[in-house]
Amino acid sequence: MQNKKIIFVWGLILWSTVSFSNPLPSAAYEPDSVERPKDWFNLDPLDNGVMGTSTNKAYSLLLKGKEPKEVVVVAVIDSGVDINHEDLKGKIWVNEDEIPGNNIDDDRNGYVDDVNGWNFIGGPDGSNIGADSYELTREYVRLKPIYGEADPDKIKKRDQEEYSYWLSIRNEWEEKRKEAEMNFTFTSSLQKNLTEVAKILKTALGKEDITMTDLAELESEDEAVLKAAAMVGQLFQNIGQEDANLNDILADLEGAVKHYKNQKEFAFNPDFDPRGIVGDDPDNYKERIYGNKDVIGPDASHGTHVSGIIAADRNNDLGMRGISEYALIMPIRAVPDGDERDKDIANSIYYAVDNGADIINMSFGKGYSPGKKYVDRAVKFAKRKGVLLIHAAGNSGEELQRDNNFPNRWLGKKKEASNWVEVGASAWEVGTNLPGSFSNYSQEAVDLFAPGVDIYSTIPEDKYEANSGTSMAAPVVSGVTALILAYYPDLKPSQIRDILQQSVYDQSEQMVLKPGDDETVTFGSLSISGGIVNAYKALQLAESFSGGGK
């Protein structure tokens, strides 16, 4: 899944507080100098002063009184989707040819009781994979028996390339596993220490929520209380947010500890392999029929958040408004807590296309892809069937290349998929912090940017929260695309990609901080289009494009 390279800024802040050294990189923070509504991604840059998509403006000025020509199906390949969420009622795809719960493959597509989608990381008994290892670890496990004890001088010429690949895999795995273990030890210690500090302050102040204002009003002669207040005060100062709350920081710290624990126990653990749950042959890419009907899974937070951005009900009085009023979500579960497998992604694409998806949202990615050619075949199949694939660029603050993020648009050495849109993440505020500090970028591989910082959307159990990542930016574009297709269903994927690129809110000349770096560059150097997706302008441009069947 996206955002696996978490920069745990709170831990670094506390470390700098204790040691008075190790200053924080500026790229670790997001802008917070303007007041922003929860639904800022639907708003207009000119009318509302935030770098949204002008979606609300499109509904009020372009679409009012205009009937859509079709409902658009958006397949969400993800961790699972809470199909029972209050804000997604009536927005989940239904396989009308399947009779629910009769344990019969009524439509004879090979998937029993696939009423709302399919789960490729579940077992026939209804069990599910929650966590899985990283592809780096799986490649390490695959190659170690072959080259782990090999004599470099005896490697045959034909095996030299693979041996060099093994060496790079081994070195990277050993380095990252060690780093994960150190981060887990470090953040666990920080959590313990900060929890004790919080207890001291909560007792002294007689309240649970501690803010900077509370610390300023604190009166005490107790040395332990004063020391705790000084540490947390420096922590708040380094964060740079006036409304910072100690409980929020503790919650983030708890998330970081969980993340690094999972890395240690699952992601970089060569002895961890949950695939037996599924019961398939993971090396047989021709195998299509496996998994189960559970599209929710053990943790549907990520997929539910993505789905809400695309299609949450715009006409009720509940938590938020999705972008497309006329979209249905087809949940396909294929992304664990860890790296997705190429076999599952290829089969997910085939399933989506075969069952009528118009768009496939892919908010995931990884650094290695041993089965890339099989995923590429599925991408080509989607192209032939007129299905657009929208992919999150990733959250490593790096420039995308052919070999550092998968899946990607490149098909072989020379060809590119014309039905592929790659999306970077942007923030709400025009200026140097416009690109998300975590977002990947590329003037050759990223088509455009879209809102991806503090995006408020649905999560399981009828709840809502704000999340950041290119995982949020991709469904923004999927939602805009679904809106376009609802009114202009004859547009081809390549035409839609052109429309999205040509109709951006142009910020190409704006000087910004390059993600992951202190260097100042033009926003135009970070993507092909140099702008932010804009629903209002995209619909206007779609009107002028010729139709023609997909």
**Separation of alpha carbons 418 and 61, rounded Å:** 31
Query: Crossing angle for the helix pair 493-502 and 470-487, nearest 10 degrees?
Result: 110
The answer to whether the beta carbons of residues 465 and 38 sit under 8 Å apart is: no
The answer to whether the beta carbons of residues 465 and 480 sit under 8 Å apart is: no
**Separation of alpha carbons 1 and 338, rounded Å:** 6
Other C-beta atoms closer than 10 Å to the C-beta of 33 total 8
Other C-beta atoms closer than 10 Å to the C-beta of 3 total 21
Task: Spell out the SS3 assignment of 500-546.
Answer: HHHCCEECCCCEEECCCCCCEEEHHHHCCCCEECCHHHHHHHHHHCC
**Separation of alpha carbons 548 and 371, rounded Å:** 34
Q: What is the mean pLDDT of each run of 10 residues along the chain (550 residues)?
A: 39 36 28 70 96 98 95 98 98 97 95 98 97 98 96 94 97 96 94 93 91 89 92 82 82 91 96 97 97 98 98 95 98 97 98 98 97 97 98 96 95 91 96 96 97 97 96 98 97 97 98 94 98 98 68
Question: DSSP H helical segments within 102-216, as ranges?
Answer: 135-147, 160-205, 212-216
**Separation of alpha carbons 1 and 254, rounded Å:** 19
Provide the pLDDT for residue 241. 65
Other C-beta atoms closer than 10 Å to the C-beta of 517 total 15
3-class secondary-structure state, position 402: coil
Determine the Cα angle at 133 with ends 255 and 399, to 5°.
75
Label residues 416-429 b or e (16+ Cβ within 10 Å = b).
Answer: ebebbbbbbbbbbb
**Separation of alpha carbons 359 and 390, rounded Å:** 7
* Main-chain phi, psi angles of 537, to 5 degrees: -70, -35
Q: Please, which residues bridge with residue 360 across strands? A: 75, 389
Torsion of CA 333, 336, 342, 346, to 10 degrees: 10
State the burial class of residue 175 (Cβ atoms within 10 Å of its Cβ: 0-12, 13-18, 19+): exposed
Provide the pLDDT for residue 242. 64
Strand 420-426 vs strand 388-392: parallel, antiparallel, or unpaired? parallel
The answer to whether the beta carbons of residues 184 and 261 sit under 8 Å apart is: yes
Which amino acid is residue 74, in one-letter code? V
Q: What is the DSSP letter of 342?
A: H
**Separation of alpha carbons 477 and 427, rounded Å:** 15
Q: Structure pTM?
A: 0.90
Using left for φ > 0, alpha for ψ between -120 and 50, and beta otherwise, residue 394 falls in: left
3-class secondary-structure state, position 481: helix
Sign (positive/negative) of CA torsion 186, 191, 192, 193? positive
Q: Which of 300, 352, 294 is nearest to 85 (CA)?
A: 300
Q: How far is CA 178 from the centre of its chain?
A: 25
Domains defined along the chain, listed by start: 31-132+282-544 (3.40.50.200), 136-267 (no CATH)
The answer to whether the beta carbons of residues 278 and 121 sit under 8 Å apart is: yes
**Separation of alpha carbons 362 and 423, rounded Å:** 10
* Main-chain phi, psi angles of 168, to 5 degrees: -70, -40
Q: Which of 399, 407, 406 is nearest to 443 (CA)?
A: 399
